[in-house]
Each structure stands twice: as structure tokens, then as C-alpha cells.
Structure 1
Amino acid sequence: MPTDPSANKPSAPATPDLPGRAAYTQFADRYSQMAPEKPHNALYERPATAELLGDVAGLSVLDAGCGPGIVSAELAHAGATVKAFDVTPAMVELARERCADLPVDVAQGDLGQPLAWLADGQFDRIVCSLALDYVEHLSPTFAEFHRVARPGAQLVFSMAHPMRDWIDTRTRGNRPYFETTRFGLHWGGFGEPKPYVEAYRRPLADIVNALLETGWQIDRMLEPKPVAQMKAVAPALYNELALAPAFLCVRARRV
């Protein structure tokens, strides 16, 4: 469930809940309709994630935190067999609708909990697109990914860039860079009413060390640049993202 840096001013917290589920229930339909072409997603994060994933034809892929099934559908069209899950019931239904005629099995599940319905050593690829920002502790999640991955499998994930979020005082508050901080913002770009979205900001070392401690070997890291097409459709955003990254994309291998 992707994050969106085009956020407005912070507000009072939403009803206590899992950050992702509470947020995306508010605007699941709008997100599903807009994210396929929204520049942050279609011309920035998804191309970088697809580059790291490479050819998936004939592979078994887990789409963890699948949202409305945009990536799941792309994977299936590229020849993969996909299992997908999301914590938000509305997103699960939207993903099932989008992938109804494709080799995609969608379930409800929480990235912050054991993936008990998935067998050991099941997947060639695991993709987690902009969903880990809603998980407070990454090590248990990476450990579960390691369990369900086959030897030599690859994990590809994207997150908000730790330094980008640190520069923004709305996300760091008055706490040190080295702490994990839960914050909330009203997002622009998805119509009215603006959804209030909570997530976690954490230091880069916590992301890297959580991977290494759970048996993953980092293979490649991208601080993506916007694709050239964005310059025509969203020039201000293109200039912003060409100057500094908003997201971090990582590929790791199971060892």
C-alpha cells in the first residue's frame, strides 16, 4: 500500500488501528482508480521496482501488501503465478476484482504478523511495494519472508526514503534520526476528503540490519529517479524527484 510524499499538514491521530488498514479504508476506491496513473507510482516507484524484479515469467511470486492489486496484475500479465495479501479488507476486494481473470490468489493478511497460511520455501520472488512503512518492527516481517522464500529467491521492496522523511520536520517531529517515529499526515493528490495516513519513519541502518539479521543478502539498492515521461505530465514533481529521492528500493537474496 504505497505512501505518498505529496502530503499536507499533520492533524490529530485517526482512530487507533493498524496504520495501513486505518488509512486505506478511508479512500480505497479512489486509490485504486488513481494509483495506476499517478506519477509518484506509475512513473517513479513501480518502474524502479520492476527493474529490480526483472523477468518473472514462470515464477511464483508473493505480492505482500498488495493494495488494490496493481502490481499483482502486472506480475500476472508478465507470466508469474501470484499470491497476494493485504491488511485492508476493501483493498483485498479491489485486488480480487482487478485480478479476477488472472493467476492471482488474494487473501487478507497483516505484514506485522506471521504469514501462517503460507508454506515454507514457496516463492521465487517476494515483492513489497511501499507497504513496509506501516510496519513498526521489520525483523519479524523479513524473517517470515525468508521462511516462505525458496533458496536463492529474491526479495524486492520499496519504502519511503529515510533521509527524505528526516528532512521533513512533519515526519520526524522533535525526535532523533536514530529513533523510529510514528507520524500522520493528510495526503493530497487523492481528492476530498484528504485521507489521514499514519506510517513509521526509521533510520537506514534499522532497515539494512533487519535484512542481514534475518538471512537476506543485499544485492542492489536504488534511490530512483523519475522516468523521462514525468517531465511532461508533472514537471514540478519531476524536478523535485530529480533533485532528491522520495523512495528507496532494495533487492535482497535469500541465503
Structure 2
Amino acid sequence: MRAETAYHDEMGEKFAAQATESAYNAYTDRPATLTLAGDVSGLRILDLGCGAGHYAADLLRLGAGQVVGVDGSEALLRAARERLGDGAVLHHHDLEEPLAFLADQSFDLAVMALVYHHIDARGQLLAEIRRVLRPGAALVVSTTHPTADWTYFGGSYFADERVKLPFGDEFEISYWQMTLEKFLGELLGAGFMLEELTEPRATPEARLVDPRRYDKTHRQPTFLAVRLRCP
């Protein structure tokens, strides 16, 4: 993730706090991602863009053998260390760069939750993920839903450009707007095989936290999540 797109300093601290109980993060994307991950008992899992460690904590709770997290934001990694303690191995690393510190065919599962659309060097990253996954391993990816971006930003659905989304009153999140064709095309073009696709809706718990966003996720798509298989 480029330096200017990682969630640094106060922005990272704000996101770490929000992601803990937000309708979108905690009760929409995270449950869907964990469901697609399936039975993780004993697996060695790579959490790319691990953020504040929410997904890693849940994966460990569900029985993962080891979780290795990678993120470009030291602010988010501080929050992850506080959440996980010694429960996971965490690396401060820019996902725009190769994962040279990870060994070939050393993971059973990779998770990349709401990170892919931030990356410029997506082809390189996908090649690196294939390198570190064992044959037959799975990759779970979630992203913003293409139609949600189109509805929000307007213009052409087929626009291929970086957009900026306000985050709170002080910050902006920068990421790539991409079509469904482009998102799936890049993943399949990298050699992964699609096993499952879902358009997550918020779980019932979200209704207590944020009724408006709960209802919104049940009326229009917000996120897109897929499970793929490494040959």
C-alpha cells in the first residue's frame, strides 16, 4: 500500500477504533470473510493488510495454527500488537513491494480484507501470494462493491481511476474504483480459481449498533468477497 494510502498516525488510530464495532467492518465484511475462510483449524494463515488485528484475532479464536500479519501502517500495527500480544507474527511492510521475507509455499490460506483496491502493484502482489501459498491453498479477498462505488461517485461505471472517500471530518481514503470484470479478471488472470462469491449483508448484531447502515447493506451492495483456490 503506498505511503499516502496507508492509514497512518491519527487516521490509523481512528480506523482501528472504528473497525472494532462498526456495522460495515465488524458486522458486514469481517463475518463474510471469516465464513469464506472456512475451517481454519491448524492452518498457517497470511493476513495481508492486517490492520489493527481484528481478523487475525478471530482467525486465532477459530483455531488457526499461526497467523502472520503484514501492514504498511505502524499505527495500525501498534493496535494489532495490543490486541494480539504474542499470538501472531506481525511485519511492517509496504504491500507495493515484494514479500521477500516470506518463504515459498509456506501458507495454507491468505486473507486480504478490504485492501486489494488500495494497491497499485496488484499483479506483483498476486504473483507473490501465489508464490507463498501451498498448492491447493485458498485466498479470500474482499473489496468495495463496484456498484456501490458507482452509485456514490457517479460518472461512468467503467471508470478506472483512483477515488477519494471522506473518512470522518479530517481524513480521506484513497483507492481504485474498478469494475467487477476488472476485479475478477485480475484474480483469475493471476491463475487463481474462483470457488465462491458473496455480496455480504450485515449480521443482525449490526442493527443494534447502526440501524441505518444495517438497512443499507440489505438494500444495496456494499462489499464483494470471494474465495479462490491456488492450483
Shorter chain as denominator, the TM-score bin is over 0.9
Q: Is the Cα contact below 8 Å between 1:138 and 1:207 reproduced in 2?
A: no
- Give 4+ residue runs of structure 1 displaced > 6 Å after superposition: none
* 2:56 aligned residue (62, 68, 72): 72
SS state at 2:218 partner: helix
Partners of 2:190 and 2:165 lie apart in 1 by: 31
Structure 2 unpaired stretches of 5+? none
TM-fit CA distance, 1:28: 1.8
The CA deviation string for residues 151-206 of structure 1, in whole angstroms up to 9 with x for no partner, is: 0100001100011101222xx5x4x4333211113213xxxx53222111111111
Partners of 1:140 and 1:205 lie apart in 2 by: 19
TM-fit CA distance, 1:240: 1.0
1:100 equivalent in alignment to 2:76? no
Cα-Cα RMSD: 1.7
* 1:217 aligned residue (184, 189, 193): 193
* 2:73 aligned residue (80, 88, 96): 88
Alignment of 1:85-234 (within 5 A): 85-102=70-87, 104-169=88-153, 174=155, 176-188=156-168, 193-234=169-210
SS state at 2:124 partner: helix
Partners of 2:86 and 2:68 lie apart in 1 by: 14
Alignment of 1:27-66 (within 5 A): 27-66=11-50
User: For this pair of structures, how many residues does the alignment match?
Assistant: 230
Partners of 1:64 and 1:96 lie apart in 2 by: 15
Q: Is the Cα contact below 8 Å between 1:67 and 1:95 reproduced in 2?
A: yes
% identity of equivalent residues = 35
TM-fit CA distance, 1:117: 0.6
User: 2:3: which partner in 1?
Assistant: 18
CA, structure 1 residues 44+204, in 2 after alignment: closer, same or farther (shift >3 Å)?
same
User: 1:7: which partner in 2?
Assistant: none
TM-score, with length taken from structure 1:
0.84
TM-score, with length taken from structure 2:
0.93
TM-fit CA distance, 1:20: 2.8
